[in-house]
Amino acid sequence: MQRFENAREAALALRPDEPVYGFRPEVLKADARNFMAMFPGKTAYAVKTNGEELVLRTLVEAGVTAFDVASPGEFAAVRAVSADAEMLYMHPVKAQSDIRLALEKYGVRVIAVDHEDEVTKLSRVVRALDLDPGALTVFVRIQTKGSAAYELSKKFGAGPAYAVELAERLNRAGHKVGLCFHVGSQIQDPDTYERALASADWVRNRISFKLAGLDVGGGFPAEYGHDPNRRHREMPSLEEIMSRLRADLKEYQFEGIPLVAEPGRVVVARAFSLIVRVLLRKGRRLYINDGIWASLSDSWTGKITLPARFIPDPAIRSRNGNENNIVPFKVCGATCDSVDILSRPFWLPETVDTGDWIEIGHIGAYSLSLRTRFNGFYPDTFIEITTPFEEGDVPQGFASLETMAAE
Ligand SMILES: *Cc1c(COP(=O)(O)O)cnc(C)c1O
């Protein structure tokens, strides 16, 4: 992989027409180690956030030994980079054949359920493979309420009373039983984990046996940009969220049992930026070479504001306007699809023009893992960048803001 100090150097050397992912392995390692140092239990990286081989390999180098996986593709991706990494199969709804594959071929011994039919599927596989039920830790996923960019309890999780019933049933079957939840991605309310712990506590107080573990899931927020025209909703730093979580775990007396977290976004967001090119400027509209069907769907559906840095093409000799005047542009994606228009503008210097580049920062999570081959566009060019996105010249703009103030 070609290496550059920063995106500007890369753009001017390569003059890329296709989107380029700028990978920062040292940032990834630092963020993974930082999380592991702060969380008082096992850290299982959520592979769906970004399952690229180079990401998984770098995480293994950083000392990550456990991965949250959901599918045969993810089992194989983890095994390809580590012969002995532990896999936690935390998807609550699974094909029976996938459960069998996980237990038989990949040695998975930790699994999540939120319904009795999932328990039935699991029991069939355990019997067919003649496994000792006591070798399996089964986490009952409980519903939680909170505020996040993505709510997940609408889709998954057992209500507290039902969770008690499932836990008892799993215990009778001879399994070790834990509780898990996932508060949703990119939480927007620092009380979220405490509320979830209160639900877990409610369930724990009504079961007849000792819990084998508590898995607090993901949801830890990554740092993104914010709309300069809107009142900024201050979120505490990860350090503060973690210190509060540790205090809450203690208060609810969960610190004595094995703890797990499944961070995705907060580990990998800062590890990538994306260099896109302006294919055409038409008034206050920019047509770029990426879009909602490639790397930008998360900022679209999650209403996430990403920092952006303008990389002017030096070949453009004359420009209109003032480079210090930051204005909103409507952004159209690369495909012929009329839906492929970002729901939020990019704020950039008014001088931006056809042929310029934009570096979009903090885009490691739910970007390239969600890209499609729609219309034949599939960004797949990677370079290494040695300087963190935040360093060097200040990003002037923002990609995808919450409001189009000028509209
Ligand atoms: C997606 C997912 C995660 C990761 O969530 P982040 O918000 O990216 O940290 C963790 N656990 C499960 C079960 C998930 O589905």
Q: What is the pLDDT of residue 302?
A: 77
Do 89 and 110 contact (CB within 8 A), yes or no? yes
Averaged pLDDT score across all residues of the chain: 93
Give the E-state strand segments of 151-292 in sequence order: 176-180, 185-187, 213-215, 259-261, 272-282, 285-288
pLDDT tens for each residue of 197-215: 999 999 999 999 999 999 9
Query: How do the domains of the chain map onto residue ranges?
Result: 3-21+270-400, 40-262
Does the pLDDT at position 23 exceed 50?
A: yes
Residue 126 clears pLDDT 90, i.e. is over it: yes
Residue pLDDT, tens place only, 52-69: 999 999 999 999 999 999
What ligand 1 atom has the least distance to the C-alpha of 184? 7
Confidence bin at 33 (pLDDT 50/70/90): very high
CA of 217 to the centre of ligand 1 (A): 6
User: What is the number of the ligand 1 atom nearest to the C-alpha of 152?
Assistant: 15
Per-residue pLDDT for 402 more than 60? Answer: no
Mean pLDDT of 5-17: 98
C-beta separation of 233 from 27 below 8 A: no
- Nearest partner of 330 among 341, 343, 340, 345, judged by Cα: 345
Q: What is the pLDDT of residues 291-325, one digit of tens each?
A: 999 999 887 777 788 889 999 999 999 999 999 99
CATH code for the domain defined by 3-21+270-400: 2.40.37.10
Find the 56 Cα to ligand 1 centroid distance in Å. 15
The CATH number of the structural domain formed by 40-262 is 3.20.20.10
Whether 403 shows a pLDDT value over 50: the answer reads no
Ligand 1 atom closest to the Cα of residue 185 is 7
Mean pLDDT of 9-26: 98
Task: Measure the CA–CA gap between 167 and 171, rounded to whole angstroms.
Answer: 6
- The CA-atom distances, in angstroms, between 255 and each of 108, 219, 354 are 25, 20, 56
> Rounded distance, CA 156 to CA 158, Å?
7
CB 327 within 8 A of CB 284: yes
Which residues' Cβ are closer than 6 Å to ligand 1?
A: 46, 48-49, 68, 90, 182, 185, 217-220, 262-266, 365
Report the pLDDT averaged over residues 98-127.
98
Rounded Cα distance, 129 and 139, in Å? 20
pLDDT of residue 211: 98
pLDDT exceeding 70 applies to what percent of the chain? Answer: 94
What does DSSP assign to residue 403? -
Cα 91 to ligand 1 centroid, rounded to whole Å: 10
Mean pLDDT lowest among 85-94, 107-116, 147-156: 147-156
213 CA from centroid of ligand 1 (Å): 18
So what's the pLDDT on residue 42?
A: 98
